[in-house]
Amino acid sequence: MQQHSESDQIQLDLQANSSIFHVLVGLTGSVAALKAPLLATKLLEIPGVEVRVVTTDHATHFYDINEVPVRVYTDKDEWEMWTMRSDPVLHIELRCWADLLLIAPLDANTLGKIASGICDNLLTCVVRAWDTSRPLLFCPAMNTAMWQHPITAQQVATLKSFGYVEIPCIAKKLICGDEGEGAMAEVSTIVDTVKQYIQKHPE
C-alpha cells in the first residue's frame, strides 16, 4: 500500500477538478462558528460542489473539527506542509484550488485584519493572495456594540471596495444575551447566495 506524507495528502486533497465547483469556507473566532458543521453539510448538498474549510485557531473554541464533514485546514497545517524551498505553500495551494471563498463567520478582529492587509494566519494569507476575479463572500458576525462602532462600517466598505461581497448580518437575540444587529446571516441565506454564484460560474 502506498504511503503518503501529510504534505502529500494535502496536495491530493487539493487536486483540481474542472467539473467540480470548489467552495473554500473560512471560519473565524465568532460564536457563530458553532454553525460550521451545519454550514458545511448544507453546502455539500449542492450538486457538483466540493467543500474545504480553513479555520483560525480561535474559531475552534466554538465547534468540534471532528463534526465538520470535510477537510479542515489549520495554521498547523500551513507550517507543517512547508519544510524546504521546493515544498508547496498551503495558502497558495488553497487559493488556486478554490473557485469561491466564503468567510462565515467573519469576526471583528479578522475584519480589521483583512481591511488593513494583515496576513498573520492561514486564512488571512489566503485572503491576501486571493484572485479578485473570483468571488469572495463575507458574513460579518459580532456583538451589537462592536457592529455599531464607527470603524466597522469603514472596514466593511473597504472590503467591498476590493470587490468582496457582504452577506449582511441580521438582528436577533445574541448568545451573549444582547439583542440587536450583528448576528451572522442564516445558514439558508448563505447557502442560497453561494448557489447564485455557482449558477453564474462558466461551465
Q: Which tens digit of pLDDT belongs to each residue from 149-185?
A: 999 999 999 999 999 999 999 987 666 666 678 999 9
Between residues 105 and 12, which one has the greater pLDDT?
105
Residues 6+ apart with CB under 8 A from 161: none
Which residues partner with 23 through β-bridges?
51, 100
Comparing C-alpha atoms, which of 54, 66, 57, 132 is closest to residue 93? Answer: 54
pLDDT tens per residue, range 18-57: 689 999 999 999 999 999 999 999 999 999 999 999 999 9
HSE, CB side, 13 Å, CA atoms: give it for residue 181: 10
What CA–CA distance (Å, rounded) separates 129 from 117? Answer: 10
Between residues 41 and 199, which one has the greater pLDDT?
41
Cell of 66: 471532528
What pLDDT does 1 receive?
A: 37
- Split at pLDDT 50, 70, 90, the class of 3 is very low
- Split at pLDDT 50, 70, 90, the class of 4 is very low
DSSP 99: S
Alpha carbon 115 to chain centroid, angstroms? 15
Percent of the chain with pLDDT over 90: 77
Q: How many CB atoms lie within 10 A of CB 181?
A: 16
What pLDDT does 9 receive?
A: 58
Cell of 55: 479555520
What pLDDT does 88 receive?
A: 78
What CA–CA distance (Å, rounded) separates 41 from 135? Answer: 21
Active site residue: 96, 119, 139, 176, which one? Answer: 176
Whole-number CA gyration radius for the chain: 17
What pLDDT does 83 receive?
A: 66
pLDDT tens per residue, range 73-111: 999 998 887 766 767 789 999 999 999 999 999 999 999
What pLDDT does 192 receive?
A: 98
pLDDT over threshold 80, residue 199: yes
Known catalytic residue at 169: no
39-100+136-144+188-203: CATH architecture:
3-Layer(aba) Sandwich (3.40)
